Amino acid sequence: MIKKFLLERISWIILIVLLPLLALILAYLDPALSINSIFYYVFLSLVISFLFVVIRYFKETSFYKELSLRDSTTDITSLPEPSSSFESFIHKQITSSIEQLEKDASTSRLLLEQEKDDLLSWIHEVKTPLTALKLIIDRSEDHQLKSDLMHEWLRIHYLLDQQLHQKRIPFIENDLFIEKVELESLLYSEIHMLRSWCLKKKIGFDVELVSTHVLTDAKWLSFILRQLLTNAVKYSEEGSEITIQSANQMGQTILTLEDNGRGIDPRDVPRVFDKGFTSTSKHQDQHATGMGLYLAKKAAIPLGIRISIQSTLGRGTTVTLTFSKENRFLQIQGV
């Protein structure tokens, strides 16, 4: 701060030094002036000037020192109090900018909330004709047409469901209800929804559950399984089988979903949970949104579920869900 202060006041300091020097030059040129008196004047002026600079340093830099130590925050009460007109000007500019920023941020938040509410309302409105459409499809007697329509209906249904949960994830803590959940019924419910798609691709399921119950939120676990199962079916080869197994290891339930699909390129595996990431090997895939695994990971974190992926390109992918120990959840929930 001293260096900055001296550099800022360098012109004034030069002037203070030049004035006594000018007095010495005049004493040298004019014999009528006493050289001793001039030296005495120069000495006093330099001492006074030095004291003046020191006093001004402490007075003028205190505001800026407090400003430099202040945390980067929009709290205007943390700003130091100004003690001069220039400091008041700076204080006014900062506070007015922060107040305008807060005002704009508040407006943006309101608009974002309104947009989110409108989107959620639209999704719920669309569900009504979508349900009616499914009833119409169910009444169709043309099996091929029924299968094709059901496949497209399922895609729309899952995209809407994905969008709905995406908007709810930031507030997932307000929506959690931790309870004993039966894995088998949850899995079969999700598999049943994929029935028409699986029949079309001739994909079967081999389910073997050693550990049958987990302590979690049923609705959000269903959403996570939905994303993983749709990915498994989407990328599985026709006529293949998806294996689902559960086990108990050291008090933790491990659930694995293994498919025999196209697999994932090793360089893509660390990025599969990134928002919007699809693939580098199949980048032309227009049906991939890059949101399924990202949302599954986001939903799994508050539930204490760890998701990991192992994959071999061209041979398939295995997704592992590792659930938290029950005693940890009981402590968190205060049960």
Which CATH number goes with the domain that contains 321?
A: 3.30.565.10
Give the Å distances, CA to CA, from 171 to 154, 166, 176, 193, 302: 26, 10, 9, 26, 10
CB 292 within 8 A of CB 231: yes
| pLDDT over 90, % of the chain | 24
CA–CA separation, 23 and 14 (whole Å): 15
pLDDT digits (tens, 9 = 90+) for 171-199: 888 888 888 999 999 999 999 989 888 98
Residue 130 lies in a domain: no
Residue 120 lies in a domain: no
pLDDT band for 329, please (50, 70, 90 cuts). Answer: low
And the tokens for 73? Answer: 């925050």
Q: What is the pTM of this model?
A: 0.68
Length of the chain: 335
* Triad 166, 307, 289: Cα angle to 5°: 40
Please say which residue of 36, 69, 102 terminates a domain.
Answer: 69
Average pLDDT of the residues in 38-59: 86
pLDDT band for 37, please (50, 70, 90 cuts). Answer: confident
Checking if the pLDDT of 292 tops 60, the result is yes
Dump strand ranges (E) for the chain.
179-182, 204-209, 213-216, 241-249, 252-259, 306-312, 316-322
Count of structural domains, the chain: 2
* pLDDT at residue number 266: 87
Residue 208 lies in a domain: yes
Checking if the pLDDT of 316 tops 50, the result is yes
And the tokens for 95? Answer: 């506070």
Helices and strands (DSSP H and E) totals, the chain: 10, 7
Give the Å distances, CA to CA, from 286 to 16, 271, 289: 74, 18, 8
HEC string of 135-149 equals HHHHCCCCHHHHHHH
pLDDT band for 288, please (50, 70, 90 cuts). Answer: low
Contacts of residues 11-15 at CB distance under 8 Å and 24 or more positions apart, as own/partner, are 13/53
Please say which residue of 14, 43, 69 terminates a domain.
Answer: 69
The whole domain housing 233 covers 179-333
* pLDDT at residue number 247: 93
Using alpha carbons, select from 192, 193, 195, 199 the residue that is nearest to residue 144: 199
Residue 92 lies in a domain: no
Please say which residue of 51, 69, 87 terminates a domain.
Answer: 69
Are 64 and 185 members of one domain?
Answer: no
* pLDDT at residue number 334: 44
Residue 134 lies in a domain: no
Using alpha carbons, select from 75, 11, 20 the residue that is nearest to residue 44: 20
* pLDDT at residue number 335: 42
CA–CA separation, 233 and 228 (whole Å): 9
Residue 292: how many CB atoms within 10 A of its CB? 21
Report the chain's mean pLDDT, rounded to a whole number: 85
Residue 111 lies in a domain: no
Q: Which range has the worst mean pLDDT, 61-75, 145-159, 218-232?
A: 61-75
